[in-house]
Amino acid sequence: MDPIRNPYAPGAGQRPPELAGRDEQLDAFDVVLERVARGRPERSVVLTGLRGVGKTVLLNTLRSAAVRAGWGTGKLEARPDQSLRRPLASAVHQAVRELGPSGGAGDHALGVVRSFAQREPEGGGRGRSAPRLKDRWNPGIQVPAVAGRADSGDIEIDLVELLTDLGGMAADTGRGIAVFVDEMQDLGPDDVSALCAAAHEISQSGLPLVVVGAGLPHLPAVLSASKSYSERLFRYSRIDRLDRSAADAALVRPAAEEGAQYAPDALDAMYAATGGYPYFVQAYGKAVWDRAPGSPITVADVDVARPEAEAELAVGFFGSRYERATPGEREYLRAMAEVAAATTGPSGAAPDALPGGPADEPEAVPTAEVAARLGRKPQSLSPARDALLKKGLIYSGERGLIAFTVPHFGRYLRDHT
């Protein structure tokens, strides 16, 4: 069918034509906004899940909901080895601009953002050098910095002061501020702990400011290792693959907008191929649309398009990640895939394994078994494992266990490498 009218959107952070199966999270967030705006105690939301399940697009959608509610919003993406200070300063700067407070209150808020921003150590790195006041990075704020506020150099003190002042300003305007942090697991330990402390302080004082996070499945463990009270600060929402009806809706509704339909057995074949993982749904939807001669889309069209969809995933989803690993790390990944495959089967498969679909593998495998498979001592593999953790290719939700952050990665490795 006409590729120009192809509605599907495979790609990191690409807004899907239909955001399927996320009503629960959207409704819960509306309640958070309403309660926080009224000064009621409420836990903020943290979205967790594997890569490609739709955390970023959901986070963006929550941000839109906050904007519609009249809140000031800002967003940042955490990166390993990058300090929180500058990206957070930019995000809250944006939020203050969106709120547009007039006169003195606005100037004070911007001045505090500026003084917070200017305590950045040189180079923007973590712990490389002591903060230097001379390093006057200009965050693009015209009003003068408020000396003595949020500029001690201690990130925890500074964050509490920054967010308290901004929350107070938001309260005066009768609205709120929401700060969105994607890839939250990549924040450094000091920054995580400071962010939790600040969020804690803010929630206790009933100020209308929330921090909304998204990250890999082990993010709750990262947060609770940092501050034991983090479970009371955030409500964790696991974002997962779509169930059958949501996966169908993600395909059927955008097609209907363009006047096209799917035959029922085509939808069966699509779900078997994608497992309901949103990235796979979009990749298959796109390839099948381009290959199908007309509506309705049939199971034969799915079969014809399969190699193209898999090739697109091999490059765009799997390959781009695999390429980040060194030869030694790749060996480790392959060993993980082999251990996972050896554990699959009627007894090892996840209880929700798809009938007729790819068998689901256990989520996590023991590091000791990976080492045994490679015939190596576990300690000698720590550098490879740590590097893979840092590159975000694997995660450890529990001591002694590791898992791929990318769904179906084991199968990709066994088939392509």
Ligand X SMILES: Nc1ncnc2c1ncn2[C@@H]1O[C@H](COP(=O)(O)OP(=O)(O)O)[C@@H](O)[C@H]1O
| Interaction site with ligand X (CB under 6 A) | 9-14, 16, 18-22, 49, 51-57, 250, 278-279, 281-282
For 136-165, letters b (16+ CB in 10 Å) and e give eeebebeeebbeebbbeeebbebbbbbbbb
Q: At which residue do the structure tokens 């809706």 appear?
A: 249
Could you tell me the smallest distance in angstroms from the CB atom of residue 62 to Mg ion? 13
Q: Which does 26 bind (CB under 5 to 8 A by kind): ligand X, Mg ion, none?
A: none
Given a contact cutoff of 8 angstroms between Cβ atoms, the answer to whether 318 and 378 are in contact is: no
| Residue number closest to ligand X, CB atom | 54
Could you tell me the smallest distance in angstroms from the CB atom of residue 286 to ligand X? 9
Please tell me the distance from the alpha carbon of residue 152 to that of residue 403, in angstroms, as a whole number: 40
First to last CA, the chain: 33
Please tell me the distance from the alpha carbon of residue 184 to that of residue 193, in angstroms, as a whole number: 12
Q: Which does 249 bind (CB under 5 to 8 A by kind): ligand X, Mg ion, none?
A: none
Query: In terms of CB distance, is 10 or 101 closer to Mg ion?
Result: 10
Query: In terms of CB distance, is 111 or 285 closer to ligand X?
Result: 285
Query: In terms of CB distance, is 55 or 385 closer to ligand X?
Result: 55
Could you tell me the smallest distance in angstroms from the CB atom of residue 285 to ligand X? 9
Please tell me the distance from the alpha carbon of residue 167 to that of residue 206, in angstroms, as a whole number: 9
Q: Which does 369 bind (CB under 5 to 8 A by kind): ligand X, Mg ion, none?
A: none
Please tell me the distance from the alpha carbon of residue 210 to that of residue 301, in angstroms, as a whole number: 46
Q: Which does 20 bind (CB under 5 to 8 A by kind): ligand X, Mg ion, none?
A: ligand X
Q: Rounded to the nearest 10 degrees, what angle do helices 219-226 and 189-205 cross at?
A: 80
Query: In terms of CB distance, is 16 or 208 closer to ligand X?
Result: 16
Query: In terms of CB distance, is 235 or 373 closer to ligand X?
Result: 235
- Tokens for 292, please give them: 């199908």
271 C-beta neighbours (distance < 10 Å), count: 24
Q: Residue 315: CB partners within 8 Å, gap ≥ 6?
A: none
Cα–Cα separations (whole angstroms), residue 44 to 180, 231, 255, 316, 344: 11, 10, 35, 33, 37
Q: Which does 275 bind (CB under 5 to 8 A by kind): ligand X, Mg ion, none?
A: none
Query: In terms of CB distance, is 139 or 407 closer to ligand X?
Result: 407
Could you tell me the smallest distance in angstroms from the CB atom of residue 334 to ligand X? 23
What's the gap between Cα 299 and its chain centre? Answer: 33
Q: Which does 9 bind (CB under 5 to 8 A by kind): ligand X, Mg ion, none?
A: ligand X
Q: What one-character DSSP code corresponds to residue 176?
A: -
Q: Which residues would be at the binding site for Mg ion (CB under 5 A)?
A: 55-56
Query: In terms of CB distance, is 77 or 303 closer to Mg ion?
Result: 77
Q: At which residue do the structure tokens 């697009």 appear?
A: 57
Q: Which does 385 bind (CB under 5 to 8 A by kind): Mg ion, ligand X, none?
A: none
Could you tell me the smallest distance in angstroms from the CB atom of residue 21 to ligand X? 5
Q: Which does 16 bind (CB under 5 to 8 A by kind): ligand X, Mg ion, none?
A: ligand X
Could you tell me the smallest distance in angstroms from the CB atom of residue 128 to ligand X? 29
Closest to 66 in 3D by CA, of 88, 45, 48, 87: 45
Alpha carbons within 13 A on the beta-carbon side of 382: 4
Could you tell me the smallest distance in angstroms from the CB atom of residue 55 to ligand X? 3
Q: Which does 52 bind (CB under 5 to 8 A by kind): Mg ion, ligand X, none?
A: ligand X
Could you tell me the smallest distance in angstroms from the CB atom of residue 81 to ligand X? 20
Query: In terms of CB distance, is 54 or 362 closer to Mg ion?
Result: 54
Could you tell me the smallest distance in angstroms from the CB atom of residue 396 to Mg ion? 19
Q: Which does 288 bind (CB under 5 to 8 A by kind): Mg ion, ligand X, none?
A: none
Query: In terms of CB distance, is 56 or 230 closer to ligand X?
Result: 56
Q: What one-character DSSP code corresponds to residue 406?
A: S
Could you tell me the smallest distance in angstroms from the CB atom of residue 406 to Mg ion? 12
Q: Rounded to the nearest 10 degrees, what angle do helices 327-343 and 382-390 cross at?
A: 90
Query: In terms of CB distance, is 57 or 211 closer to Mg ion?
Result: 57
Q: At which residue do the structure tokens 């066994």 appear?
A: 414
Instruction: Please report the DSSP string for 13-52 in residue order.
Output: TPPPSS-TT-HHHHHHHHHHHHHHHTT----EEEEE--TT
